[in-house]
Structure 1
Amino acid sequence: MPRWIELDELANLRDVGGVPTTDGGEIAPGRLLRSDNLQTLTDADVDALLALGVTDVVDLRSDYERDAEGPGPLTKTSVAHHPHSFFREWREGVGEDKSDDPDAAEAVEERPEAVPDEALPWVDLEPSVALENEVAGVYLSYVADRPDSVLAGLRHIAEADGAALVHCAAGKDRTGTLVALALLLAGADREAVIADYAASSERAQRILDRLLASDTYAENLRGRPLSSHLSRPETMRAFLEHVDATYGGVEPMLERLGWTGDDTARLRAKLRD
């Protein structure tokens, strides 16, 4: 059962504590939370997150999304914010593409075209990794296109002083991918990880309603059926099966990008008692 946390302005907030591990244990509660956009938190919501021990936020939204939405209420607190877009982005005055990484090109299929910084995550873009399950291909593209963000996000979870909270816009695709990787590295049972990913479907209508209320997302979402917003277990399963078949598992894939055994040990220590 997902550990839902009910706040006024979040539809998809939950603690992944309690997810079973392969050795008969479980992920410790109060260490890793996942959610949708934090942009419209009430004062009471902010107080609740602080009371839950949140010290670090890993924000997977694109630069465009963050700029369009502006600073959220939680940025006015002592909580550390770590922005790590999962899309390749160039920005005027910043310089070369920050996702270039020679190790990444060797480890995963490269994306032929960059995602412009004005693109929203669900704009119809060709993923750099083509799979029969197109959404699973998008998840693989996160790793291919932004290995820097994937590794940094995992390290921020491991190094957080208190609870780390990972979010994007809906809290299901980008967030679901990073959280799945973190849980598997910590020894979580694969089917339990897939079930946690799929739990976002329980809140699909609420998530969609919140996004439609935002000028940043509404135009791109109107007219799309609710079914297109579901987190289907077969999607995460296809993603993980491709990782296994191509790289031998999550950890070997990430090691080719610069992840280390010490990184895994720190993450495991963070998420396990």
Structure 2
Amino acid sequence: MAWIELEGAVNARDLGGLPTIDGGSTVHSRLLRSENLQELTPGDVSRLVEELGVTTVVDLRSTNEVTIEGPAPLDALSGVRHAHHPVLKEFLDVSDTLKAALLTESVEADRERYPDDPMCGHYLGYLENRPEEVVGALRTIATAPGAAIVHCAAGKDRTGVVVALALTIAGVEPEAIVDDYMATDDRLEAIVERLSRSRMYAGDITSRPVKAHAPRAETMKAFLEQLTVRYGGIDAWLTANGFGAAEVATLRARLRQA
């Protein structure tokens, strides 16, 4: 995992170089992750598109978030595809969208789904409530002609889950997936500061202390374990939701070193 230093995003990284269970590694400039991309500068856009080969943006935000935040700089480029896969339940009320996106309020369904760690329960909710969007995001990554950059608001929860699934398909060691998830903690204050300036998240993001937004390694470990406990493994979950063996092979090959 390598940080991508940008002026308009602080939680961007390239997921190349991660170790796989069989002794291989992931390839660079194929799968990138980030927070909200609204503040990218012309230099950032050049870095992502010309240097890193970004052809596809995988946007996991809700329709309300996309509408209120408005177009991002990468949207203006004809050679970059914007694929919208909202993995949260869609809400008519913007305040409900904010609560769900920023997790400023615990949801009873999350506790019921996984009492030991409601945040893990929240992540499992993406798979159970919006499987078509999760699978759609993975399919977009698999078929991107160049690098795909996955993002949500903070680049931690929704992005963390979709990236963890993609890396699991690629055979990345679980410890490395957890380490990548936890890397967001290194930039947490800067992420909160950025989101506090945005149209959508200003005010709500600062309603709790910065550390309240911090990722926990135990949450991602539990999520990865639950893929097996609840669904019989990631392949079984993917098959049940229309992502077949040929697509698994395509995504796996795309993310791994030849």
TM-score range, shorter chain: over 0.9
Structure 1 counterpart of 2:26, which letter? I
Shift of 1:83: 0.5
Q: Is the counterpart of residue 169 in structure 1 residue 153 in structure 2?
A: yes
Q: Deviations over 1:117-172 (max 9, x none)?
A: 52121242333533311111110001111111100100110100000000001001
Q: Is the counterpart of residue 197 in structure 1 residue 197 in structure 2?
A: no
Structure 1 counterpart of 2:155, which letter? G
Which residue is equivalent to 1:93?
none
Does 115-124 or 27-36 show the bigger shift? Answer: 115-124
Structure 2 counterpart of 1:61, which letter? R
Matched-pair contact (CA < 8 Å) for 1:63–1:117: no
Matched-pair contact (CA < 8 Å) for 1:140–1:239: yes
Structure 1 counterpart of 2:108, which letter? E
Q: Distance in 2 between matches of 1:123 and 1:145?
A: 20
Q: Distance in 2 between matches of 1:189 and 1:156?
A: 23
Matched-pair contact (CA < 8 Å) for 1:211–1:218: yes
Which residue is equivalent to 2:61?
61
Q: Deviations over 1:46-81 (max 9, x none)?
A: 111112100001000100000001111110002000
Structure 2 counterpart of 1:9, which letter? G
Provide the TM-score with structure 1 as the length reference: 0.87
The partner residue of 1:126 within 102, 108, 113 is: 108
Q: Distance in 2 between matches of 1:43 and 1:206?
A: 20
Aligned residues: 247
Structure 2 counterpart of 1:153, which letter? A
Does the residue aligned with 1:57 lie in a helix, a strand or coil? strand
Which residue is equivalent to 2:209?
225
Which residue is equivalent to 1:104?
none
Summarize the Cα distance change of 1:136–1:231 in structure 2 as closer, same or farther, 3 Å threshold.
Answer: same
Q: Distance in 2 between matches of 1:83 and 1:197?
A: 22
Deviant stretches of 4+, over 4 Å: none
Q: Deviations over 1:26-53 (max 9, x none)?
A: 0011100000011111111111111210
Which residue is equivalent to 1:157?
141
Q: Is the counterpart of residue 216 in structure 1 residue 197 in structure 2?
A: no
Provide the TM-score with structure 2 as the length reference: 0.92
Q: What is the RMSD of the two structures over their aligned residues, measured on CA atoms? A: 1.3
Q: Distance in 2 between matches of 1:268 and 1:130?
A: 29
Matched-pair contact (CA < 8 Å) for 1:85–1:149: yes
Q: Distance in 2 between matches of 1:131 and 1:180?
A: 21
Does 174-183 or 125-134 show the bigger shift? Answer: 125-134
Which residue is equivalent to 1:37?
36
Q: Distance in 2 between matches of 1:126 and 1:72?
A: 34
Paired-residue identity, %: 47
Which residue is equivalent to 1:83?
84
Structure 1 counterpart of 2:187, which letter? R
Which residue is equivalent to 2:119?
135
Matched-pair contact (CA < 8 Å) for 2:104–2:208: no
Q: Is the counterpart of residue 14 in structure 1 residue 13 in structure 2?
A: yes
User: Any gaps of 5 or more consecutive residues in structure 1?
Assistant: 90-114
Higher helix proportion, which one? 2
Structure 2 counterpart of 1:139, which letter? Y
Which residue is equivalent to 1:186?
170
Mapping of residues 224-243 of structure 1, within 5 Å: 224-243=208-227
Q: Is the counterpart of residue 206 in structure 1 residue 190 in structure 2?
A: yes
